[in-house]
Amino acid sequence: MNMSLLRVIRRLQSSFVAPQRPTLISTDAEKPNVEGREDANLFSFEYIPPQVQPEWHRNKLKYRLERMDCLRRRQAIDIPEFYPGSILAVTVADNYAPGKSMRFAGRCLYKDGFGLGCKFVLRNVIDNEGVEKMYHLFAPYIQKVELLRLEKWIDTDLRFLRDAADQSICEIDPNMQAESPLPKTEELPVYKGKIRLREIAMWEFLYHKQWPRPYNAYLEEHFIEEELIEREKIHWQTQSHLKYDICKHYDVTKIKAEIMDEMKDNRHRVDVADKKITADA
Amino acid sequence: MINKKVFRMFSNRFYSYSLYYVGNCLRCQREYHGNRSFLAKRYRRPKKKFLYAPVETLHAVKRREKEIDRYTDKYGVRSDKFIPKHKLPAPRWHWDYDLTQDSTAFIKSVAGQITAEYNQKLNSPFKEDEWPIQSWTPGSYRCGAIGIKLGVHPLWFKDGTYANTTLLQITDCHVIKNFSKEEFNNKKAAVLVGAKNASPFYRTEKYHEFCLEAGVPIKAKCFRFYLSENAALRPGTQLNAMHFRTGQFVDCTAMSIGYGMAGVVQRWHMAGGPAGRNKHWQRRVGSIGSHIRGWVQKGKKMPGQLGGTYETIRGLKVLRVNTRYNVIYVKGRIPGHINQFVKIADSSLPHYRPKTEEQAKKLIGPFPCYIPESTNEDLPEEIYDDSVVPLHAPSITFS
């Protein structure tokens, strides 16, 4: 072989450095929660202010004060994260009950409201009798909120369960043991089952006229397919243009980021206000 | 050649049959339905758009009188006298119409400095002797404050019940002018209080003089309070949320939400007529009287202005006071929209008027106003009434 060639080869061999293998660092492990299941002290759905038109009807100081009060209540009591469809048990202080407190377990039908006025409704079937009870989330007469089963349904308004054929959905054993919920690093699977409704000649609540139609209710049995199609057509003709109305669009992503920044600040302020720490700290 | 007169008479009808479809209204080319004869008269002679500056002859001037836009009611009534304020032509020139941009910017910056001078005057000690602080005597009224309605949210009591409370914020509330009994009417003294700093432009000179004498920046809203001469306050004193006490009762005055010209069904909750069947009587008054009187009685419920008036609600309890943001939580609801000015005064109900000094300490705040020097420096940020559960406290338990 040619000597110059050999020298070139040797130079290349000596100067050649094998590239380092790229190390794959997964960032998911650093995040303590999945988007949508944040820490309640930082963000919760009841912290989003309602959409208000015109814009000068909104007062940001009032929203801030209300969120500070919600944070105070969350520090006093542990309110778990739940969605409509999950099973809860609530102990409430009652002056006229034996033991001065009452425990009621049930399935959450809906959760609605902003800030301190956030209400949720639990339904249970006791001795073939349906019972519903409404509670304020942040009321001080609630002593304990236990999460028995965490479920998330596609519909947020489950009032059609009142007309369900199989009432065992809402029949909840008061001595039911709590099932440990999924950790917050994993996404909750959404319940997509359809529930049959009981046979009735005249519906009090017009399910087929309601739009959007509930996903978790099996309406095809009771209403003719043509009727449902006609209702969808009427909605398309009369009200489908509303989704293109820009004024009614409520983009929550920016508000969510602002709220999360604000709540970190609020924690400090609440502690100062309640004299747990001095203002200098 | 078509005769112009004939063409104009039938032009509306011709238009609907033409290839290029044009709306009925000649002016705005829109379809109109309903009172065609009235609308047709209104728009039959559209206003000419002059491309060049017109030189008007005598005849043209006379013709233009008919084409001028006169204010018309929605019922078609035209008048020059009773035109509502917001429909009058806007003032022709701004205050800076003949100034350059630099000079307007300079004047605006100077207006900001003037407020700083005002605040320095507030702390001048020369006038303190003229306004001595007097103590409460039976039959004396004290001043109130002006707040801004922030919103509504619930508060819970110790027996488990709850009430909706309105939040009222007291910002930049200063006393502007004091009127003695003789100056005002010979029965009561009065005081002018203003809230929320505003721009010094577009205000009257008289108001500027008032504020200069008091050493106070220009305020957006003023209210007048009745006083006894006991409680005269020095112009320039600031009023806080601490002016009111938890457990006190309060009257709130505010301008209610305006719905404009409201019909009888909305204004007086009348039933109206049956829907669908009768087109002539659906949302109308019905009968306005009978042969007994022969005329319409005074106070007959008819359509008219709904809202936009000052309404008072008396006997509202103060449940919580926030000293950092100067916010009062008042039990109950108040007329007016959010960010509306509210006049807050001690309650005038006879049950809540104090007769002895002990009652005065519960039912009325500090007399004549709250003075920060005499009390401790470390004020608690949140002051709750005894019956209210503070939210950071543990849950209620009955024993």
| Domain ranges within chain B, ordered by starting residue | 143-259+306-384
At residue B399, the pLDDT reads 82
Token representation of residue A277: 């720490």
Which pLDDT score, from 0 to 100, does residue B13 have?
47
CA–CA separation, B370 vs B238, rounded Å? 9
CA-nearest residue to A52 within chain B is: B338
Rounded to whole angstroms, how far apart are CA atoms B336 and B333? 10
For B291-307, write each residue's pLDDT tens digit: 998 999 888 999 988 88
Share of chain B above pLDDT 90, in %: 39
When pLDDT is cut at 50, 70 and 90, the band that residue B21 belongs to is very low
- Are A143 and B395 in contact (CB < 8 Å)? yes
- Nearest neighbour of A72 by CB, restricted to B159, B380, B392: B392
Q: What is the pLDDT of residues B176-201, one digit of tens each?
A: 999 988 888 888 899 999 999 888 88
What's the pTM value of the predicted model, to 2 decimals? 0.77
Rounded CA separation B289/B186 (Å): 44
- Contact between B83 and B71 under an 8 Å Cβ cutoff? The reply is yes
For the CA atoms of B258, B259, B265, B268, the dihedral, rounded to the nearest 10 degrees, stands at: 10
Chain A touched by B96 (CB under 8 Å): no
Indicate the pLDDT class of residue B15, thresholds 50, 70 and 90.
very low
The answer, for A267 touching chain B at a CB cutoff of 8 Å, is no
Distance between CA atoms of B166 and B333, rounded to whole angstroms? 6
Q: What is the pLDDT of residues B53-97, one digit of tens each?
A: 445 555 555 555 555 666 666 666 666 666 677 776 665 567 787
Mean pLDDT for chain B overall: 80
Higher pLDDT, B216 or A111: A111
Q: What is the reported pLDDT for B43?
A: 53
A104 and A122 in contact (C-beta within 8 Å)? yes
DSSP one-letter code for B14 = H
- Average pLDDT, integer, range B85-114: 77
Cβ distance A76 to B327 less than 8 Å, yes or no, reads no
What is the per-residue pLDDT for B339? 94
Among A51, A59, A265, the residue to mutate for chain B (most B Cβ within 10 A)? A59
Report whether A90 contacts A142 (CB < 8 A): yes
> Using a CB-CB distance cutoff of 8 angstroms, which residues of chain B are in contact with residue A76?
391-395
Q: What local confidence, expressed as pLDDT, does residue B319 receive? A: 96
How would you list the strands of the sheet with A142-149, edge to edge? A129-136, A119-126, A101-112, A87-93, A142-149
Instruction: Flag if B395 and A77 touch (Cβ within 8 Å).
Output: yes
Q: What is the pLDDT of residue B370?
A: 86
- pLDDT bracket for residue B1 (50, 70, 90): very low
Radius of gyration (C-alpha) of chain B in whole angstroms? 30
Burial (CB count within 10 angstroms: exposed 0-12, middle 13-18, buried 19+), residue B22: middle
- List chain A pLDDT tens, one digit each, 281 residues: 678 888 777 766 677 788 888 877 766 556 778 888 888 899 999 999 998 877 788 899 999 999 999 999 999 999 999 999 999 999 999 999 999 999 999 999 999 999 999 999 999 999 999 999 999 999 999 999 999 999 999 999 999 899 888 889 999 999 999 998 888 888 899 999 999 988 876 777 777 777 888 899 888 877 788 888 888 899 999 988 988 988 888 889 999 999 999 999 999 999 988 886 555 54
Q: B154 and A69 in contact by Cβ < 8 A?
A: no
Task: Say what the pLDDT of residue B14 is.
Answer: 43
Is pLDDT above 70 for B41?
no
Which chain A residues in 35-64 lie under 8 Å from chain B, judged by CB atoms? 56-59, 61-62
CATH of domain B143-259+306-384: 2.40.30.10
Query: Side-chain half-sphere of B348: how many Cα atoms within 13 Å?
Result: 13
Measure the CA–CA gap between B241 and B222, rounded to whole angstroms: 17
How confident is residue B150, by pLDDT bands cut at 50, 70 and 90? very high
Structure tokens at B72: 């018309």
Q: Which residue has the higher pLDDT, B1 or B209?
A: B209
Name residue, tokens 């829907």.
B275
* B392 with A73: Cβ contact below 8 A: yes
What are the angstrom distances between the C-alpha of A120 and each of A50, A123, A132, A133, B137? Answer: 17, 10, 10, 8, 51
- Name the minimum distance, in Å, from the CA of A255 to any CA of chain B: 19
Rounded to an integer, the average pLDDT of B26-54 is 54
> What's residue B54's pLDDT?
46
Give the pLDDT band (50/70/90) at residue B127. low
Alpha-carbon torsion angle B260, B263, B269, B270, nearest 10? 170
pLDDT band at B116 (very low <50, low <70, confident <90, very high): low
Residue from B241, B245, B248, B203 nearest B327 by CA: B241
Q: Which residue is associated with the tokens 């009841």? A: A46
pLDDT the model gives residue A208: 72
B380, B381, B395 member nearest A140 (Cβ): B395
* C-alpha torsion sign, points B12, B17, B18, B20: positive
